């Protein structure tokens, strides 16, 4: 009875299967089902390919393998050594999920779905099955997930935060176009790819809100975040508070005044964190009344200069106003 080489019991998610025996007899019956391709593989390279149908193996229908190994003693005798790799030509679906970052190093968390099929069985076997030693469906799927995530992380790093979120269709389309070419190089066709979710950290979500609103240029948003952080640190120090929840903004971070305009100290609104003049009764950004906030006097210990009467911090050795030694 002739040897029968056939892929039986293939599951819906199975993309590749390797015939367990490598001893192939001449005259064996190779059965390839619809939506399958069988490839003879030896020494890390694919040779003869068979489409759907029943094939009797002879030197005539294995011309590439015969030509390459006919000089090997015993090759034309039974059995000969070769691996038979079956490839499913159906369309497959998969999931991806990764952590990437934008051009300004904003963290991104993305997930979604992709659909693919084998376009060039010979190239796929050489590059993925043989090249990655992925002789099982699970091995191929592990490789593909890593392949997609790696390429996607690289592509998303070329875009800024606002572009990713405000032009997601365009961005995902460009990422897909890039992946299509990568897939083609390993014998696969990327049928479709869809982002089902994309997010960033709370810090960058707040930045994104202001940038999308178009009310502030990017440099102003960054400056506002710096002011907030500085205000938090100042709020931890005694004497920093001007009123309940109000913190003086250091001059370094204040918006420059117009030429000729009198300098006005700025504070942080406790409601919306906007910079506002210290003389304001209402916040010009959120409209909250500031007059109801009781002013708390500074609790910093102090002393007077014996010469000019300037108020000085306790422990000062010289007056910063007249230079008198204390």
> Are 187 and 127 a contacting pair, CB within 8 Å?
yes
**297-318: pLDDT as tens digits:** 333 345 777 887 777 666 667 6
Domains of the chain, by residue range, sit at: 4-88, 92-203, 302-326
Which pLDDT band, with edges at 50, 70 and 90, does 19 fall under? very high
Mean per-residue pLDDT for 267-284? Answer: 71
Token pair, residue 21, equals: 């025996």
> Who wins on pLDDT, 301 or 26?
26
Question: Would you say residue 182 has pLDDT above 60?
Answer: yes
Write down the pLDDT at residue 313: 62
What band does 31 get if pLDDT is binned at 50, 70 and 90? very high
Cβ atoms < 10 Å from Cβ of 97: 14
* Half-sphere CA count of 244, side-chain side, radius 13 A: 6
**CA separation for the pair 260, 257 (Å, rounded):** 8
**Given a cut of 70, is residue 264 above it in pLDDT?**
no
Question: Greater confidence, 289 or 157?
Answer: 157
CATH number assigned to the domain covering 92-203 = 3.30.479.30
Question: Mean pLDDT of all residues in the chain?
Answer: 77
pLDDT of 164 strictly over 90 = no
Q: Could you tell me what percent of the chain has a pLDDT over 90?
A: 17
Q: How far apart are the first and last CA of the chain?
A: 113
Instruction: Give the separation between CA 285 and CA 282, rounded to whole angstroms.
Output: 9
Please state, in angstroms and rounded to a whole number, the distance separating the CA atoms of residues 24 and 10: 21
No. of helices (H) and no. of strands (E), the chain:
7, 18
Note the pLDDT of residue 220: 55
Residue 4: what pLDDT? 95
Q: What is d(CA 145, CA 132) in angstroms, rounded to the nearest whole number?
A: 13
Of 102-111, 120-129, 246-255, 261-270, least confident by mean pLDDT is: 246-255
Mean pLDDT of 11-34: 90
pTM over 0.85: no
């Amino acid at each position: 009875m002739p040897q029968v080489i056939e892929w039986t019991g293939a599951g819906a998610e199975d993309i590749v299967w390797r015939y367990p025996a490598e001893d192939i007899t001449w005259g064996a019956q190779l059965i390839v089902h619809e939506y399958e391709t069988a490839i003879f593989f030896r020494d890390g390279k694919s040779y003869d390919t068979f489409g759907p149908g029943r094939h009797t193996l002879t030197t005539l229908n294995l011309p590439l393998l015969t030509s390459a190994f006919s000089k090997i003693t015993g090759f034309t005798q039974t059995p000969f050594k070769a691996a038979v790799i079956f490839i499913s030509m159906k369309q497959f679906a998969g999931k991806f999920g990764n952590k990437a970052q934008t051009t300004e190093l904003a963290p991104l968390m993305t997930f979604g779905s992709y659909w693919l099929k084998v376009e060039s069985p010979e190239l796929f076997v050489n590059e993925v099955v043989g090249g990655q030693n992925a002789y099982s469906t699970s091995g191929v799927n592990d490789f593909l997930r890593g392949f997609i995530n790696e390429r996607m992380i690289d592509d998303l790093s070329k875009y800024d935060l606002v572009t990713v979120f405000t032009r997601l269709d365009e961005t995902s389309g460009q990422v897909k176009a890039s992946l299509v070419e990568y897939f083609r190089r390993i014998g696969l066709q990327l049928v479709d790819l869809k982002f089902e979710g994309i997010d960033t950290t709370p810090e960058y979500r707040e930045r994104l809100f202001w940038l999308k609103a178009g009310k502030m240029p990017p440099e102003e948003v960054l400056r506002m975040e710096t002011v907030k952080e500085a205000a938090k640190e100042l709020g931890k120090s005694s004497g920093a508070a001007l009123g309940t929840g109000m913190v003086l903004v250091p001059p370094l971070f204040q918006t420059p005044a117009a030429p000729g305009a009198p300098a006005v100290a700025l504070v942080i609104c406790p409601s919306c964190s906007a910079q506002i003049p210290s003389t304001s009764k209402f916040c010009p950004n959120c409209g909250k009344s500031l007059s109801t906030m009781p002013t708390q006097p500074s609790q910093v210990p102090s002393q007077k200069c014996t010469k000019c009467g300037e108020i000085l911090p306790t422990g000062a050795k010289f007056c910063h106003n007249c230079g008198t030694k204390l």
